[in-house]
Amino acid sequence: MRSAAVLLLACSLPPSLAQHHKKPGKKLAQAAVSKPARPKPESSKVVGAAGLIAAAQHELDMQNFTAAADYSSAAVSKAPVLADYAYYIRAQAEYGLHNYSEVGEAATHVFSHQPPSPFVGPAAALAVRADLEANSPKQALTLIRKYFDVVPQPQADLLLARCFRETGDLPAAADYFQRVYYQYPVAKEASDAADALVDLKAQLGDTYPPILPGTLIARAQKLFDAKRPAAARIELAAAIPQLTGREGDIARVRLGVADYLSGQTQAAFTYLLALKVEDGEADAERLNYLIHSARRADRHADVKPYLQQLESAHPTSNWRLDALIFVADQARTENDSATYLPLYGTCAANFLKEPRSAWCHWRLAFDSYRKDGADAYDLLRSHVEQYPGSEDINDSLYFLGRLQERKNDNAYAKACYQELQTRFPNTYYALIARERLKQPSLQAVTASPAAKEFLQAIPWPTRPEFPSFTPGDLARTRLVRANLLQLTGLNVFAESELKFGAHNDGDQANVYAFELAKLATARDAPDQALRYIKTYAPGYLYMPLDQAPAQFWQMAFPLPYRESIDTHSHEQSLDPFLVAALIRQESEFNVAVISRANAYGLMQLLPATGKDLAHRSGIRAFHASQLLTSDRNIQLGTQYVRSLLNSFGGQEEYVLASYNAGPSRAKLWQTWGPFREQAEFVETVPFHETRGYVQVVLRNADIYRRLYTGTVPQIPVYHPKPPPKTKVSTKKRATRRR
């Protein structure tokens, strides 16, 4: 049986095109039965006309270029709201037919479409290639110069290089091929650029543009950034004979860095120890990585002399700051306060203007708090004053309040907790501050005016006003376009339309994030919905829960597989919302994910752990692939959480630390107490990842309880705001066009 969308499409076809649609291909038929994310607001006529674009795209995918061109031509007049989609498909079809002049004509309509089309950059790139293949390089050069800023990189640079080459400007062509090769070493275009550069070097001879030393270093750094240290080492080794002075010193040091990052610690240590360089920053980098290598190789006695050399020779270098933090953090994993406290102190005192010094200052403040130090109040208060934008500012507000509670200054404490909840509402420390505020001793007092005055005077980082989820004119137009595309089965196009709007349409990225999440949820992809919100509404956790619709929060904190989560949680006497919170952090509800550490599925269980748990449960013929099914993974995962709770006396913070870092580490950290409250244990955890993991999962669990307990979300009612005035971004990428 044909779906309504297919019937509407068939009815809308012109007689000359009906023959193409008598037997729709499998892909188009599947697209036609896709369920819409929301009711159809458009008329049947408009939806059917939009279906012509689906037909055109289907024919294009099948490389039936003539049919694709015919369908797209018909769509232009029948679905003008999506004319740019039709024109772009037509441009591709004409390119496939080698009708290069028609490509440019179709692309011109894409360029002038309102609202601005997502296809301006791709259409420009296609038109440039068509002009080049039609032997019209001057026209191609004019076009790529005009649209250079909207063509994706490194495609834009590669096309510009080709245009220069075809117009005879070989030095400019070499310049841009070099740009592709050196700035984008892991892109597929880099190999094309490399081939072109070989030919150009032979043609230009002595006039070939020289490669600047910094460019050689930059290519290696790009490979380091891409986690390819072995490839970076090859580049550096080839570059060193061409380098002198500072660049030569840096390249030689980074040969050792490449060994260190490749896991060849002893080779790195031996090489860097013997290496002599003249440049100060290169030497500071060398000493820093000597320290890293020595610590990794358990040569702790070697560390102090190298730190002393850094202090005497390079006291203000950021490589010294890196070394201080690295060694101090490593010493924290061993609970070696005699080592880490002086290093954090040196860092905080000598690098006041460096953002990373906030971490050092925080460790000093918290250590003093734990030990009831005489300077605890001054350190906590100064952390709030000096580092209001630090990642640990909400921690310091909480412990400043707790310190004042212990001193019976409940009014001061209340001011701290209220400020924490206002500025950082969806954090672990806001959660436990909310619980503190329920204490009768705090309910009985008024927040201290002096403390409030102090907190109001802090130069808090400026954040955008909580956004409106009411679409403005431009967003509404894009939503109509996306809805039409989605109703005709073109989900990829629908999502691309919304992504383009999020990047380019001004202040309503959250609206597009919301709509993208709805589309993903409609196709049963809650993990993708969550990622869309994280990507396109990155500040969402700064919003109180009443600043967005309940549906937005339910997609940001989804609860698929609820029946399995409830069933197996109750079997193990677990809080199902804690289990959901853990799954959100482990896998984002992607049932099929396998991590780099070979952990499987929703709760990220190792196959060996799954096998052991299955054996205990009497599950026969267990195979690791069973962990990629939701029910089995949750069954065994909840069993594992219960075993950890039993081991740690029911304390969730210990359990979560164990789940992330392993039971032996969590038990070791437990001995570093006593802790007056579990928050002190959380702050004592020496692994950055694990410390954050515990906080995030407990925060998640609290939000899940508020969203899903009962039949109605237990959050304040959302009152829609009017949309902002639309601002279209005019931000452009810096270029070196000639």
Query: Which residues 6+ apart lie within 8 Å of 719 measured at CB?
Result: 546
Other beta carbons less than 10 A from residue 457's beta carbon: 9
- Is 459 among the domain residues? no
Range scoring the smallest mean pLDDT among 27-31, 210-214, 300-304: 27-31
Query: What is the domain-level CATH number for residue 134?
Result: 1.25.40.10
Measured distance between the N- and C-terminal CA atoms of the chain, rounded to whole angstroms: 59
In a domain? residue 69: yes
The verdict on residue 611 lying in a domain is yes
Residue 9 scores a pLDDT above 80: no
Query: 508-537: per-residue pLDDT in tens?
Result: 999 999 999 999 999 999 999 999 999 999
- Cα-based distances in Å from 45 to 17, 160, 482, 574: 17, 43, 17, 53
Residues 472-515 pLDDT 10s: 999 999 999 999 999 888 999 999 999 999 999 988 999 999 99
Residue 596 main-chain phi, psi, to 5 deg: -65, -25
Q: What is the pLDDT of residue 2?
A: 33
Closest CA to 544 of 717, 722, 712: 717
24, HSE (Cβ side, Cα atoms, 13 Å): 24
Q: And the tokens for 683? A: 């702050």
Share of the chain above pLDDT 70, in %: 92
Listed residues 214, 231, 266: the one ending a domain:
214
- Domain span at residue 68? 4-214
Q: Could you tell me the two tokens for 305?
A: 């002399």
Which whole number is the average pLDDT over 156-164?
A: 98
In tens, the pLDDT along 87-144 reads: 999 999 999 999 999 999 999 999 999 999 999 999 999 999 999 999 999 999 999 9
- The sign of the torsion formed by the CA atoms of 68, 71, 77, 82 equals negative
Cα-Cα-Cα-Cα dihedral sign, residues 353, 357, 362, 368: negative
Q: State the average pLDDT for the chain.
A: 91
650: in domain: yes
Average pLDDT on 584-613 reads 96
The pLDDT, as a whole number, for residue 15 is: 40
pLDDT at position 43: 54
The pLDDT tens digits of the residues spanning 656-685 come to 999 999 999 999 999 999 999 999 999 999
φ, ψ dihedrals at 600, nearest 5°: -110, 140
Question: What is the value of pTM for the model shown?
Answer: 0.89
pLDDT greater than 50 at residue 3? no
Residue of 208, 202, 194, 260 lying closest to 233 (CA atoms): 260
664 assigned to some structural domain: yes
What is the pLDDT, as a whole number, of residue 360? Answer: 98
Compute the Cα dihedral for 520, 521, 525, 530 and give only its sign. positive
The verdict on residue 10 lying in a domain is yes
CA dist 493 to 203, 478, 561, 658, 660, Å?
44, 12, 29, 43, 38
Q: Which residue has the higher pLDDT, 411 or 26?
A: 411
- Residue 397 phi/psi, 5° resolution? -60, -45
CATH number (domain holding residue 614): 1.10.530.10
Task: Report pLDDT for 727.
Answer: 53
Specify the number of domains making up the chain. Answer: 2
> Which long-range contacts (C-beta less than 8 Å, at least 24 apart) are formed by 367-372?
367/337, 367/341, 369/399, 369/402, 369/403, 370/680, 370/684
pLDDT of 735 reads 43
- Range with the lowest mean pLDDT among 237-246, 543-552, 707-716? 707-716
| Model pLDDT, residue 16 | 41
Could you report the per-residue pLDDT of 347-361, keeping only the tens digit for each? 999 999 999 999 999
Question: CA-based Rg of the chain, rounded to a whole angstrom?
Answer: 30
**Rounded average pLDDT over 569-593:** 97
620 located within any domain: yes
- Nearest CA to 407 out of 384, 380, 430 is that of 380
Report yes or no on 276 lying in a domain.
no
Counting residues of the chain whose pLDDT is more than 90, the rounded percentage is 86
Residues 6+ apart with CB under 8 A from 271: 255, 256, 259
Q: Give the HSE-up count for residue 209: Cα atoms under 13 Å, Cβ half-sphere.
A: 15
Predicted local distance difference test score (pLDDT) of residue 25 = 36
Q: Is 23's pLDDT higher than 50?
A: no
pLDDT of residue 30: 34
Q: Which two tokens stand for residue 306?
A: 């190298």
Of 163, 196, 214, the last residue of a domain is: 214
